Amino acid sequence: MNVLFFIAKRIIGKRGKGGKISRPTVNIAITGVAIGIAVMILTVAIVVGFQISIRDKVEGFNADIQINKLDDNNSMEPAPIDRFQPFLGDLKRLPEVRHVQVYATKNGIIKTKTENEGVILKGVGSDYDWSFVQKNLEKGKVFHPIDSVAGNEIIISKTIASELGADTGSKLLIYFITRTRDADSAGNYGMEKSVKTFYVKGIYHTGLDEFDRQIVFVDLGQIQKLNFWNYRQVGGFEVKCTNFKKVEEDEKTINKVIGQDLEATSIRKVNSAIFSWLDLQNTNAAIIIILMVIVSAIAMVSALIVLILENANMIGVLKALGMTNWGIQKIFIMDGAYLILFGLLIGNISGLSLCWLQSHYGLVKLDQETYYISQVPIYLGWKYIVALNVGAFLACMLMLILPSFITSRIKPAVTLKYE
């Protein structure tokens, strides 16, 4: 093996001196591998970064899992349940659960002197985790609900504020259609118009237009008053999990804990269209990666064939001295492995450098109204990088085995005749 390695090293060492053909061909092959792995790293970093950015925003509005009353009501106003459930202690002790909070929602119409805007009021209590809203807050502050008092403060999006001409401190009238407090003689409830006054406490902006145009945050007590609920009644529970990748498994676990009258639904089901769209990005990434591997492998095959043909006389000499075809094949396969590794090294340095520049300085900007984010997102996971490098190396090496058989077709009698 030492002899084979020595010969392989000599071939690579003289590639720039010995032949005018091999040098540019080999350099092109190395460049092809470098560009291929760099593009693959950028593709995975951008696609995964985009998925995580959008997922975090959707998760911020809805949490990972929602627990509601089990019924056929698919509206944004679920039937009330008791906030003091016997399973809460067991639920919070689950290792998969990071936080549990109560909530309720109600449809309404915000009205100013000139504009009307349909919205979904999300009522939150004193246990609400404001980290997502605070991260995306552009003006004002979040409010802090007191469970015994229904506050009249509201947090709206920048989109809604712009359309209504509202700012922090602005007075907003929100109209609702609610059932009557009392039933008629037949036991049926009627419907009536109701109006509430709110004052803008803060303005947020996530860039996720579908949610920014709809969601406003208010005190849970206001939803309870509008629905004629008592303090114990809430719309449901939101559960934040420790690992989003296992959210569907967590949904099954939580459903076993909460009993038969309630249902836990994962965010992937609540917002199935968005997550199906995000999953499609994996297909796009896979296509790009496959194309880059094929291009890199073809470049390496071309370089190896050129190296073999340029060293045909040497191959003839080695065969005349008794070296086997497999031994000669291993020499050129080692040369190919060296070129691949050299290309991967250059490609990794280039790709990771571009990722670092983008993640720290945001050089490439995006139209947030179209892409929901203001700049190209980057996520560098070492598992992805290792997998890409190992996969690209093995794919290229497998492709090199076939052209290496050319050495077995070279006959010493022919090559030595013209030496």
Per-residue pLDDT for 189 more than 70? no
pLDDT tens-place string over residues 99-124 = 999 999 999 998 766 677 789 999 99
pLDDT tens-place string over residues 330-367 = 888 888 888 899 999 999 999 999 999 999 988 898 88
**Cβ atoms 201, 142 nearer than 8 A:** yes
Q: Residue 98 phi/psi, 5° resolution?
A: -100, -35
What would the 3-class secondary structure string for 246-269 be?
Answer: HHHHHHHHHHHHHCCCEEEEEHHH
Q: What is the DSSP letter of 236?
A: E
Residue 188 pLDDT class (50, 70, 90 cuts) = low
Biggest alpha carbon–alpha carbon distance for the chain: 114
Over residues 62-83, the mean pLDDT reads 81
Per-residue pLDDT for 4 more than 50? yes
Count CA within 13 A, CB hemisphere, residue 350: 16
Per-residue pLDDT for 415 more than 60? no
- Count the neighbouring beta carbons within 10 Å of the beta carbon of residue 74: 6
pLDDT score at 106: 92
pLDDT tens-place string over residues 260-275 = 889 999 999 988 888 8
pLDDT score at 17: 47
**Cβ atoms 36, 388 nearer than 8 A:** no
pLDDT score at 48: 92
Structure tokens at 78: 């679920």
Per-residue pLDDT for 395 more than 50? yes
**Which segment of 94-103, 106-115, 148-157, 372-381 scores lowest on mean pLDDT?**
106-115
pLDDT tens-place string over residues 201-252 = 999 999 888 899 899 999 999 999 988 888 899 999 999 999 998 999 999 9
Show me where the domains of the chain are located. 2-56+276-417, 71-259
Over residues 28-52, the mean pLDDT reads 92
Rounded to an integer, what distance in angstroms lies between the CA atom of residue 260 and that of residue 255?
A: 8
Residue 184 pLDDT class (50, 70, 90 cuts) = low
Per-residue pLDDT for 183 more than 70? no
DSSP string across 68-88:
EE-SS--SSSPPPEESS-TTH
**Cβ atoms 8, 331 nearer than 8 A:** yes
**Cβ atoms 393, 341 nearer than 8 A:** yes
pLDDT score at 67: 94
Is 186 or 138 the better-scoring residue by pLDDT? 138
pLDDT score at 406: 74
